[in-house]
Amino acid sequence: MLHSRKKYRRILIAVGVCLLIGFLSGYATQSSVTTWYAGLNKPWFTPPNWLFGPVWTLLYILMGIAAGLVWARGLHHIWVKTALYHFGFQLLLNGSWSLVFFGLQEPFWAFLIIMALLVLIILTLKWFRVVSKPAGWLMLPYLAWVLFASVLNLSIVQLN
């Protein structure tokens, strides 16, 4: 029972950290979405603005659950530490993408960040799977969405 409570506490903390990063990223993008971003040329497959918030919220929750499952295995193991280091770095890049794309209004530099982010997500997923197969599976929607976002980002660079 105690082990189970520790596991759920770690999952809740990890979800909270991910949602906090998402909230801060969303806050940074808020003013640019209806002004600068609205004026950009975008490809035909650009989702409506209202879709991004719910999708990212779900992805941050899944990422947090995945990180919590890995963390619950204990920080004494080098594989857990390696997985969580990768996760932390990719989470920082995730947040910095929003700041660069929307805050600084620099789609090209944001594209370079999202390329690095993709590499770190793949490495994170690899290490998560080593520690916990379910954690690896939980990261797949995030990888898919960031792949899509990368294509969208590149298209915006090319169109503007």
Q: Which domains does the chain have, with CATH numbers?
A: 2-159 (1.20.1260.100)
Per-residue tokens: 32: 């640019």
Q: How far apart (Å, rounded) are the C-alpha atoms in residues 85 and 150?
A: 23
| Cα separation of the two ends of the chain | 56
More confident of the two residues 74 and 69: 69
pLDDT band at residue 131 using 50, 70 and 90 as cut-offs? very high
pLDDT band at residue 13 using 50, 70 and 90 as cut-offs? very high
- Phi, psi at residue 63, to the nearest 5°? -60, -45
Q: How far apart (Å, rounded) are the C-alpha atoms in residues 152 and 58?
A: 20
Which of 24-38, 85-99, 132-146 has the least mean pLDDT? 24-38
pLDDT band at residue 34 using 50, 70 and 90 as cut-offs? confident
> Is residue 88 a contact partner of residue 46, using CB atoms and an 8 Å limit?
no
pLDDT at residue 158 in the model: 98
Per-residue tokens: 111: 């594209």
Q: What is the mean pLDDT of residues 62-83?
A: 95
Per-residue tokens: 116: 């690095």
Collect all residues with Cβ–Cβ distance below 8 Å to 65 and sequence separation of at least 6. Answer: 11, 14, 15, 135, 138
**Position 15 pLDDT exceeds 60:** yes
Which of 26-40, 60-74, 97-111, 123-137 has the least mean pLDDT? 26-40
pLDDT band at residue 138 using 50, 70 and 90 as cut-offs? very high
Q: What is the mean pLDDT of residues 4-24?
A: 93
